[in-house]
A and B are shown apart, each in its own frame.
Chain A
Amino acid sequence: MNPLGIGFAYTIAATGSDNPISFDLTYFAMIFSFLILVWFLAKYAWKPLMDMMEKRRQFIEDNLAHAEQERNDAEKIRLEYQEEMRQARSEAQSIIESAIKISEQQAAEIIVQARKENERMKEVALADIGRERDKAITDVKAQVADMSVAIAEKIIRQKLDMTGQEALIDQFIQEVGDKPC
């Protein structure tokens, strides 16, 4: 039996069973056995094994992608925080600036008011002083008049009739009052 139809192999095989190079049905049996082994292992071993390896590859890939995603998220949050911080700082700065401006305005207003008040009080004081002076003058006039009358009375008691000289005294006092003192 020579399934390959190769001449020299046939010659060698024909020389006897001791010859190591002899073809027979073993050739087909081996091909058949090996194909069965390939089929069996492919179905029950290699396919599940490779699926598992693929699954692991997928798993690692997913993990890496996930980690990358998280890293990006963290970076984004960090940038957001930075931005917020920057805004808060500038807000605080503007608040302080406006407070300073307001306080400066208020201070200026207070000073202006104080000046006005001061002015007003000075005027009031001046008016008071003027009034007091007038009052004092009036008092002094009255006292002077009384004292003049008393003095004149003493001086001229004997000569003048008090009642008859009233007009003369008034005239006298009038003259005194018109004089600036």
Chain B
Amino acid sequence: MHEMILWQVGNSTVHGTTLVMTWIVMAAIIIFVRLGVRNLTSGKPGKFQNILEWLVDFIKNLVSENMDYKKGSPLLSYLLTLILFIFFSNMLGLIPNLVGPFLHNVEFAKLNQIFGGPVLMSPTADINTTMGLATLTIILVVYLGIKHKGASYFRHFIEPNALFLPIHIVDILSKPMTLAFRLFGNIYAGEVLIAVILMLPGLYVFGGVIGPMPIWLGFSIFIGTIQSFVFTVLTIAYVAQAVAHDH
């Protein structure tokens, strides 16, 4: 678990650790994707292109299973980036901090403190990240709902009658909240537990090879994968709900 390093921006603050880790994730994703699209071929694809194509097919199937594919296809780029970003973010918190020793003298942007911990930090272990992504999801839901159904999109707020309006409002507010807190809670708890395991006596004696650490890392990989999948699937499901025709 990281102590959150704050950067002062005007009279407000930003979470420096989260931003630095986000940029690392973005760089990693761009490198990973770049490896896949470097030698694009419609013939026999290379290893990385194969992975990306598998991912594209996976998301395409998810979208076409949940909604009219024509309505969903403009979302593909967003959904692909979303699942990759959350997955890479979740994994980043499991990576040992190997650059820390080289940066312990760098005062610039408090980098020595940002890279002060034993492991890197998941950007998704910050509620700002997950809430930001969830906000984008709900903006997307409302936008696509209006785009495909016009003003009649708002009619579902008073169905079956006007008394249900508060319930529908709670529904649309709770969607991004649950999305954000589910992801945040899972990943943050994982990081907390890693920090706790690292505080166990005798761990360094065994080098972390045996004992709770590898088990928990393995489980965290599993959780991180599942959570990125869940977030993406729920985004698709919410959008599908909004754009579906009334029966």
Binding site for B on A (CB under 8 A): 1, 4, 17-18, 20-31, 33-35, 37-38, 40-42, 44-50, 52-53, 55-56, 59
B77 at the interface (CB under 8 A from A): yes
Contact residues in B for A31 (Cβ distance below 8 Å):
132-133, 135-136
By the criterion CB–CB under 8 Å, are B12 and A45 in contact? Answer: no
Q: How far is the CA of A59 from the CA of B41 in the complex (A)?
A: 12
Q: Mark B73-109, 1 if CB is under 8 A from A, else 0.
A: 0001110111011000000000000000000000000
Contact residues in A for B29 (Cβ distance below 8 Å):
37, 41
Q: Given contacts A49-B36, A55-B42, are A40 and B30 in contact (CB under 8 A)?
A: yes
The closest CB in chain B to the CB of A58 belongs to B42
By the criterion CB–CB under 8 Å, are A23 and B127 in contact? Answer: yes
By the criterion CB–CB under 8 Å, are B18 and A26 in contact? Answer: yes
By the criterion CB–CB under 8 Å, are A25 and B22 in contact? Answer: no
Q: How far is the CA of A11 from the CA of B84 in the complex (A)?
A: 33
Q: How far is the CA of A25 from the CA of B12 in the complex (A)?
A: 7
Minimum distance in angstroms from A5 CB to a CB of chain B: 12
B162 at the interface (CB under 8 A from A): no
Q: How far is the CA of A96 from the CA of B4 in the complex (A)?
A: 106
Q: Given contacts A27-B132, A30-B129, A37-B29, are A50 and B56 in contact (CB under 8 A)?
A: yes
Contact of B37 among A1, A17, A24, A48 (CB under 8 A): A48
By the criterion CB–CB under 8 Å, are B85 and A37 in contact? Answer: yes
Q: How far is the CA of A17 from the CA of B113 in the complex (A)?
A: 15
By the criterion CB–CB under 8 Å, are B18 and A30 in contact? Answer: yes
Minimum distance in angstroms from B59 CB to a CB of chain A: 10
Contact of A46 among B15, B43, B76 (CB under 8 A): B76
By the criterion CB–CB under 8 Å, are A49 and B37 in contact? Answer: yes
Minimum distance in angstroms from B179 CB to a CB of chain A: 14
Contact residues in A for B6 (Cβ distance below 8 Å):
17, 24
State the main secondary structure of chain A at its contact with B: helix
The closest CB in chain A to the CB of B130 belongs to A30
Contact residues in A for B196 (Cβ distance below 8 Å):
none
Contact residues in B for A53 (Cβ distance below 8 Å):
42, 53, 56
Known: A30-B22, A42-B78, A53-B53. 10 other contacts (CB 8 A): A25-B13, A25-B14, A26-B126, A38-B81, A41-B77, A41-B81, A44-B33, A45-B33, A52-B41, A56-B43
B26 at the interface (CB under 8 A from A): yes
By the criterion CB–CB under 8 Å, are B53 and A26 in contact? Answer: no
Q: How far is the CA of A59 from the CA of B44 in the complex (A)?
A: 13
Q: How far is the CA of A23 from the CA of B52 in the complex (A)?
A: 34
Q: How far is the CA of A103 from the CA of B210 in the complex (A)?
A: 107
B123 at the interface (CB under 8 A from A): yes
By the criterion CB–CB under 8 Å, are A29 and B77 in contact? Answer: no
Contact residues in B for A33 (Cβ distance below 8 Å):
19, 22-23, 26
Q: How far is the CA of A25 from the CA of B82 in the complex (A)?
A: 21
By the criterion CB–CB under 8 Å, are A24 and B33 in contact? Answer: no
By the criterion CB–CB under 8 Å, are B56 and A23 in contact? Answer: no
Contact of A17 among B4, B23, B85 (CB under 8 A): B4
The closest CB in chain B to the CB of A6 belongs to B177
Minimum distance in angstroms from B233 CB to a CB of chain A: 18
By the criterion CB–CB under 8 Å, are A24 and B13 in contact? Answer: yes
By the criterion CB–CB under 8 Å, are B56 and A24 in contact? Answer: no
Contact of B34 among A4, A28, A45, A46 (CB under 8 A): A45
Q: Mark B4-46, 1 if CB is under 8 A from A, else 0.
A: 1010010011110011001100100110011011001111000
B188 at the interface (CB under 8 A from A): yes
